[in-house]
Structure 1
Amino acid sequence: MERSLETQVSQAVDAWLVWLPRWEPATHRGRIAPCRRCFGSPVLSAAGLGADVPHGVQHGLSTRIKTIVDRAVAAYTALNLPMLQAELDQQAARNGTRPYRPAEGLDPEFEGLPLDPDPVPGAPFLFTIAGLEQEADAVVPALPPLSDEAKAALRQEVGLADDYANMVGREVCTILLHHRLRIQAAIAEFVEPQIEAMLADLTSFLDAPFDPHDPRDG
């Protein structure tokens, strides 16, 4: 029997809570562009993860919840939207022939993130993972073109799939409200102490940027 949405959301939160103690603040340079999956996400709002929570923490939960919505939409599409399903099947078969698929099989904490770090001005990359993926994709034949009638019918089915995704998303957000207390308790236990320690280290460095025992500073 298919698991209910309540069970799936509860299990997703459980998995995130198991992962959370392993989270550590990133020490590398932050990204310039916001994450399209997490920025302004109603899922994160429902979970009580505001802008003051590090993105890595947010992303691990939002990706797990997105998987639930995606699976529900996939099941709905398979049952009710034959044209869209056929198009998705063709695209999946095409993707399966690509020799290089670096974005597949990632842990939820990394799924959907850019494959490469932001470039540093004046220091171009010799190659990028995204570039290698595009090169691999270029050698795979494109899907056959659709007629105007088929395009119109496909757009209608895509609209129905979007409506269903929004409906499931709203229901998932309602369910997440019941998990806010344990989510916030975990943030207080595992995340906030690390952030406070980082701020304390930064404050100490700003108060004494030079080593008082260094004779060069005399």
Structure 2
Amino acid sequence: METQVDQAVEAWLRWVPRWEPATHRGRVAPCRRCLGSPVLSAVGIGGNVPHGVQHGLSTRIKTIVDRAVAEYTARNLPMLQRELDQQADRNRSRSYRPGEDLDPEYDGMPLDPDPVPGAPFLFTVAGMADDAAAELPPLPPLSEDAKAALRQEVALADEYANMVGREICGILLRHRLAVQGAISQYVEPQIEAMLAELSEALDSPFDPDTL
């Protein structure tokens, strides 16, 4: 586990120097993966850090948790594993899967920007993905007893995920200085430059050379 976390943080540290502020309009809905994340708190990343920077790290760590839970499920939770296998087979049969195999910085992010009022999209990537999923046959129904047993196994998987998450947060504590140093070196100067540029635009709304 320690090796996986170390590698994830190192990969994020290599990526951060390439980060640039987004030029498009920000989204209104918060990211449930990053908002209030104990992983981000463990490395000292606060809510004032741009979401793209947060998401790149939280997604890498989520991959580690997901992998550990998948191994635990395969060993100990046969009913849940069977349901997951059926769902995976169903997903693989979709003709359009735009949300798969994305880089960590984009994994789980919205597939489309927010619409502009009065200018609706002719089509959306998410809409096409939903259409492809709607063409698939539903999963076979479960009996009430099977549903109860499945809920119990899901609860066990969630409990294990929380345990792994707490362990990872402990490991991340030793990366705080490196993570905060990268933010100070590569992220904060770009934010300060944007604020300075905005301040100049507000103080001097008209170019004197054009008067």
- TM-score, normalised with respect to structure 1: 0.96
Q: Distance in 2 between matches of 1:19 and 1:31?
A: 23
Question: Deviation digits for residues 108-166 of structure 1, max 9, x if unmatched?
Answer: 00000111111111111100111100110111111100011100000000000000000
The residue number in structure 1 matching 2:86 is 90
Q: How many residues matched?
A: 211
Whether 1:66 aligns to 2:62 is yes
The residue number in structure 2 matching 1:171 is 167
Of the three residues 8, 13, 16, the one matched with 1:12 is 8
The residue number in structure 1 matching 2:206 is 210
The residue number in structure 2 matching 1:114 is 110
The Cα shift of 1:182 comes to: 0.4
Of the three residues 101, 105, 118, the one matched with 2:97 is 101
The Cα shift of 1:97 comes to: 0.4
Of the three residues 147, 150, 154, the one matched with 1:151 is 147
Give the letter aligned to residue 181 of structure 2.
A
Give the letter aligned to residue 195 of structure 2.
L
Q: Distance in 2 between matches of 1:47 and 1:112?
A: 21
Question: Deviation digits for residues 161-212 of structure 1, max 9, x if unmatched?
Answer: 0000000001111111110000011111110111111111111111111011
Of the three residues 15, 22, 28, the one matched with 2:18 is 22
The residue number in structure 1 matching 2:39 is 43
Query: Matched residue of 2:25: which SS?
Result: coil
Query: Matched residue of 1:116: which SS?
Result: coil
Q: Distance in 2 between matches of 1:7 and 1:92?
A: 28
Query: Matched residue of 2:209: which SS?
Result: coil
The residue number in structure 1 matching 2:195 is 199
Give the letter aligned to residue 57 of structure 1.
V
Q: Distance in 2 between matches of 1:134 and 1:111?
A: 17
Moved over 2 A (4+): none
Q: Percent identity?
A: 75
The Cα shift of 1:52 comes to: 1.1
Q: Distance in 1 between matches of 2:95 and 2:126?
A: 14
Query: Matched residue of 2:158: which SS?
Result: helix
Q: Distance in 1 between matches of 2:179 and 2:83?
A: 38
- Which 10-residue stretch deviates more, 206-215 or 146-155? 206-215
The residue number in structure 1 matching 2:52 is 56
Give the letter aligned to residue 64 of structure 2.
I
Question: Deviation digits for residues 54-77 of structure 1, max 9, x if unmatched?
Answer: 000000000000000000000000
Structure 1 gaps, min length 5? none
Question: Deviation digits for residues 65-94 of structure 1, max 9, x if unmatched?
Answer: 000000000000000000000000000001
